[in-house]
Structure 1
Amino acid sequence: MFVLLKPFAAVRATLGSPAVRRAAAFYSTEGLNLQVDQTALHLKIQDVFTKVASETLTEVQGRVIPEMLTTSNGVLVRAKTGTGKTYAFGLPVINEWLSDKNFGKQESVHTVVINPTRDLAFQTQRALDKVWKDAAPRNNRRGIDLCVGQMKYDQIRRGVNGRFKSAALVATPGRLLDMLESDQSFAKSFKDLRHFVIDEADVLCAHDFKEALLAIVSRIKENHQDPSLLKVTMFSATMDSNTKELARKLMGEDYKYIDVSSGPEVTDSVNQSLVTTNSLFESFAVALKLVIEKLDATNGKVIVFMPNIKTTDFFYCLAKEVIDEYYGRKAEVYTLHGDLSQGARNRNQVRFRSARKGVLVSSNVGARGMDFPGVNSVIQLGVQYETASHTHRVGRTGRAGTTGESISILTEHEMFYAERLKKEGHEFEILEKPEITPEFEKQMTSVLRDIPSDINQMVTSLLGSYGSVPRIEKDGDPKSLALDCGDLYQKFMGEGNLPSVKAVDLDRFRVSSRDAEGVFNVRGNLRKGFNSGGYNNRGHRNFGDRTEGSYKPRRSGNGYGGNFERKNFGNRRWDRNNKF
């Protein structure tokens, strides 16, 4: 018997079923110290979980595992990042596989898990496949397979349509929907699907995947023998109207809601600090200096999050050259972003996870759900399209009962972003800027000759990132943000060297010809009235024939942000795939 079920039995006797559902959202296992051997999980799963994780379940595991083992309704779970959600849904599913004597003979995929990024999908697949194979090494099912971008179609079909069916499929929504719509035999391989798990539901909804998820479930049900047997489980670190609407459409009104979060959406063991700088160049210098200081002080691991792919690539190149002069091979620098091949991304993740001391420079692709043990510090530079990204970035440290720190670096013109975060419950200590000496600045600029990254493209991408931030014209100073980008280029390339920028990229920031003089080399003619495109005379965004509500920012390879292109560095002495 589950120890968690005893209080619910008492509640049911006195309050009835509706009251149970309302009370369940507030019921907490905190203080119960629930052990895995106190659950009804298969003994083999208990043994494997103890070896790979712990004897004690986290709160979200203690709440979700009994629910998934006993209920036939859908489950919506709100839980903080880094609380063990993967095992919370994975262990009950694997328990069903071990408990069914005919599982090895079934001709259908049993479970589908949806992740927002390829990297998170690979991480989920590795974690659950290890438990499955250790618990049932002689089972004739294939185990847990992947369905993500950059995989060959035949490779995906092999597990789903082959002689030995995949027990589960971990997928990204775009590739799975494409396969379901283009291959009828593939779609029929889910005819007896029992579990559809959506991880990071909030980010999937925020990046326009809600309709894709609804289409996937609809397509699966079209080919299902008995759609009533399909149970949907959703996990989300934040809970907004989009996520709740998706839950209602997929599960109806009678789903179970489990809230395992309280207060701000940040792990309580992370101390958040804020550094304010006078310019973007100073922000880059402060970030690099803090990385060096943290490596000296903690002898540990640091993740640096940048605004987009181009800035990630540039800072990685910069940090690699400078840190190499300080530490040599004793502290490696790795990178993670959407322009890398999947093989390079996997290698860099593995190397950073196994490193005792090192730095990972990442775009948002490394923010959601990724687990990097031993990270002492997270450093964030600049603003993001959505404040929820801040929560997930902070959550890369202070995981699994450890402590950590997060340092946000913002220019004086980016401080509107800090105010937005404070309104959402984030609290910051004001951190004094480290001293940036002229010698250190010279060291930063002197390594540029060895850096293959295009600084002009990096500046243009920063303009794009600022332009994608909602309500920036209301809360911030768009013109000053744009001019800061031009100043950044000159600080790196030298006074008088101007970045080449299209006029249309500056119009939306209300930059006039006089403003741009001596800051940008403008291609084309800047508008004078700002009434057609950019910002109109009322200070509101105007996208020509598109309204602000209909505007959809283009997604790049990592699923977040603008449109970026690959570069070929030929036979340069190193490239950004981290090959030397």
Structure 2
Amino acid sequence: MTDFSQLPLAPALLQALGVLEYHAMTPVQAASLPPMLAGRDVTAQARTGSGKTAAFGLALLAKVDPTRVAVQSLVLCPTRELADQVGKEIRRLARFLPNLKLSVFCGGVPLRPHLASLTHPPHVVVGTPGRIQELMDEGALKLDDVRVAVLDEADRMLDMGFADAIAGILGQAPKDRQTLLFSATFPEGIRALGARFQRDPEEVTIGGDASEAIEQRFYEVEPPRKVDAIALLLGDLQPESALVFCNTRRDVQQVCDELQQRGFAALALHGDLDQRERDEVLVQFANRSCTVLVATDVAARGLDIAGLPVVISHGLASDTDIHTHRIGRTGRAGQDGLALALVSGEDRRRVIGIEEQLGKAVRWERIDLSRKAARPAAAPMVTVVIDAGRQDKLRPGDVVGALTGEGGLAATAIGKIAAFATRTYVAIERSQAQKAMDRLRTGKVKGRSFRIRKLG
């Protein structure tokens, strides 16, 4: 079975799949969807970018009854970024299901709005364990009617210390629920988690570890010269975008600052940023206003940037599973990927674990640190912010209409538009950015004037 039309899915879900041009199932979808739709518990291991979110999204939506006002499906994710990504994907799949309500609950924002929104319970809840536990402790979130519970990237949740929170949350859900466990790696802790919360689960393991599909290169570079090495590699490759991983927040900020000083369009993503700052960094990276994102592992969790060609490790990850997740940010959905690692002498021992996982020796390369790095190209896009969003009934089509038309921009000069509750971010070709800002400031958007500014 390889086609979604062969599955026992509601017409509304098949219609959404057609609009999204999802036709042939990926291997993990083909292996996991039949048992999930049959009501079986499933433990699935497959690399990132393999279609896991659509798989469990379809499975849980197939069990939701929109006429019943109660939380019927729960998805737990390790980070805000992944929860947001999962929420968006499920909403896309549910676009033709009438009156379906989905809520995403994560920390980093005030609790009060989340409590208020639960006055009318959603059918599907996606969130991080900490915030979900808070809402349950307040008595606002009830799981009595949950039919399907999903643990997404369960290995990371265990690494981040969420085991007790997961136990507390699932302990409040019905024992006869369906429990789905998805992971990119399958350490022993995952088996214990499945044994504790699942009933005779179907195990799905899809071959094709990220390490098999992505070219990896290792460079021996000591810490004082690592930014030099990163600049040289980026200059040689000239990637449209690149993700640089650091092990600490301090390293993230230092590497980002140094790359900016060298002319790179770089931004930092770490735990010290508030929610708006995080949103704006991710928007700029996704819409190509920023070409290099420097991040910690936790901050970049759940990051899904289509066509990300290069991942660089400023320092090797603390264990091989984290290394696997890092390189899994590139080479997604069958595309080519390149993962580069800078290894200091003290980290050579960590390479042994990677080689054991690969079953072969890694590829070492030399880098000439005496030469000068090529001049970095400017980011192709600029992000313009409109201080109005969904709460103001402002839609992407309204923005496009205000920018184009007689004497306006060509539609091809407008990139991604990201709409939030009170803000809308518009990517504009760099050469057209000032014209776009002038047009928005002197004209009107949907008959109204809003504050316009450039981000960054």
Q: TM-score range by the shorter chain?
A: 0.7 to 0.9
Following superposition, the deviation at residue 410 of structure 1 comes to 0.6
Cα distance in 1, alignment partners of residues 219 and 354 from structure 2: 14
Cα distance in 2, alignment partners of residues 261 and 166 from structure 1: 36
Contact 1:378 1:405 in 2 (8 A): yes
1:148 aligns with 2:106: yes
* Residue deviations 1:527-574 (CA, integer Å, cap 9, x gap): xxxxxxxxxxxxxxxxxxxxxxxxxxxxxxxxxxxxxxxxxxxxxxxx
Following superposition, the deviation at residue 146 of structure 1 comes to 1.4
Following superposition, the deviation at residue 356 of structure 1 comes to 7.9
Return the letter of the residue paired with 1:273: R
Residue aligning to 1:45: 13
Contact 2:211 2:358 in 1 (8 A): no
Residues 1:171 and 1:85: Cα distance change in structure 2 (over 3 Å): same
Return the letter of the residue paired with 1:205: L
Residue aligning to 2:436: none
Residue aligning to 1:60: 28
Cα distance in 1, alignment partners of residues 302 and 20 from structure 2: 18
Residues 1:169 and 1:434: Cα distance change in structure 2 (over 3 Å): farther
Q: 2:188 aligns with which of 241, 249, 259?
A: 241
Q: Unpaired runs of 5+ in structure 1?
A: 4-33, 222-226, 325-331, 444-577
Secondary structure of 1:275's partner? strand
Q: Over alpha carbons, which structure has the higher Rg?
A: 1
Q: Unpaired runs of 5+ in structure 2?
A: 376-453
Q: 2:338 aligns with which of 405, 410, 414?
A: 405
Following superposition, the deviation at residue 39 of structure 1 comes to 1.8
Residue aligning to 1:114: 76
Residue aligning to 2:320: 387
Cα distance in 2, alignment partners of residues 66 and 376 from structure 1: 33
Q: What TM-score do the two structures reach when normalised by structure 1?
A: 0.62
Following superposition, the deviation at residue 180 of structure 1 comes to 1.3
Contact 1:116 1:200 in 2 (8 A): yes
Residue aligning to 1:96: 63
Following superposition, the deviation at residue 321 of structure 1 comes to 2.0
Secondary structure of 1:422's partner? helix
Return the letter of the residue paired with 1:428: V
* Residue deviations 1:468-524 (CA, integer Å, cap 9, x gap): xxxxxxxxxxxxxxxxxxxxxxxxxxxxxxxxxxxxxxxxxxxxxxxxxxxxxxxxx
Residues 1:357 and 1:38: Cα distance change in structure 2 (over 3 Å): farther
Return the letter of the residue paired with 2:207: S
Residues 1:49 and 1:158: Cα distance change in structure 2 (over 3 Å): farther
Residue aligning to 2:167: 214
Cα distance in 1, alignment partners of residues 349 and 37 from structure 2: 46
Following superposition, the deviation at residue 231 of structure 1 comes to 1.3
Residues 1:429 and 1:160: Cα distance change in structure 2 (over 3 Å): same
Secondary structure of 1:192's partner? coil
1:261 aligns with 2:207: yes
Residue aligning to 1:429: 363
* Residue deviations 1:253-303 (CA, integer Å, cap 9, x gap): x222111235xx4253210011112x21122210122122222xx4x2111
Secondary structure of 1:282's partner? helix
Cα distance in 2, alignment partners of residues 177 and 357 from structure 1: 35
Identify the range of structure 1 (266-275 vs 42-51) with the bigger mean alpha-carbon deviation: 42-51
Secondary structure of 1:303's partner? strand
Residue aligning to 2:115: 157
Residues 1:140 and 1:58: Cα distance change in structure 2 (over 3 Å): same
Residue aligning to 2:230: 287
User: Alignment length, in residue pairs?
Assistant: 377
* Residue deviations 1:76-113 (CA, integer Å, cap 9, x gap): 1111122111101001222233xx4xx22x13101110
Cα distance in 1, alignment partners of residues 36 and 283 from structure 2: 31
Cα distance in 1, alignment partners of residues 354 and 212 from structure 2: 16
Cα distance in 2, alignment partners of residues 436 and 44 from structure 1: 60
CA-atom RMSD in angstroms: 2.2
* Residue deviations 1:430-480 (CA, integer Å, cap 9, x gap): 21214434x67xx9xxxxxxxxxxxxxxxxxxxxxxxxxxxxxxxxxxxxx
Following superposition, the deviation at residue 144 of structure 1 comes to 1.5
Cα distance in 1, alignment partners of residues 167 and 296 from structure 2: 28
Following superposition, the deviation at residue 339 of structure 1 comes to 1.1
1:135 aligns with 2:78: no
Cα distance in 2, alignment partners of residues 49 and 398 from structure 1: 23
Residue aligning to 2:154: 201
Secondary structure of 1:408's partner? strand
Residue aligning to 2:433: none
* Residue deviations 1:197-254 (CA, integer Å, cap 9, x gap): 0011111112221121111111x23xxxxx24311110111112211111111114x2
Return the letter of the residue paired with 1:303: L
1:301 aligns with 2:259: no
Residue aligning to 2:386: none
Cα distance in 2, alignment partners of residues 52 and 340 from structure 1: 33
Contact 1:147 1:175 in 2 (8 A): yes
Secondary structure of 1:93's partner? helix
Cα distance in 1, alignment partners of residues 166 and 42 from structure 2: 16
Cα distance in 1, alignment partners of residues 233 and 289 from structure 2: 18
Return the letter of the residue paired with 2:62: N
Contact 2:69 2:123 in 1 (8 A): no
Cα distance in 2, alignment partners of residues 203 and 42 from structure 1: 33
Residue aligning to 2:132: 176
Contact 1:200 1:368 in 2 (8 A): no
Return the letter of the residue paired with 1:75: V
Residues 1:140 and 1:45: Cα distance change in structure 2 (over 3 Å): closer
Contact 2:316 2:342 in 1 (8 A): no
Q: What TM-score do the two structures reach when normalised by structure 2?
A: 0.78
Secondary structure of 1:375's partner? coil
Cα distance in 1, alignment partners of residues 191 and 251 from structure 2: 34
Residue aligning to 1:515: none
Contact 2:266 2:290 in 1 (8 A): no
* Residue deviations 1:290-318 (CA, integer Å, cap 9, x gap): 122222xx4x2111111111101111111
Residues 1:230 and 1:347: Cα distance change in structure 2 (over 3 Å): same
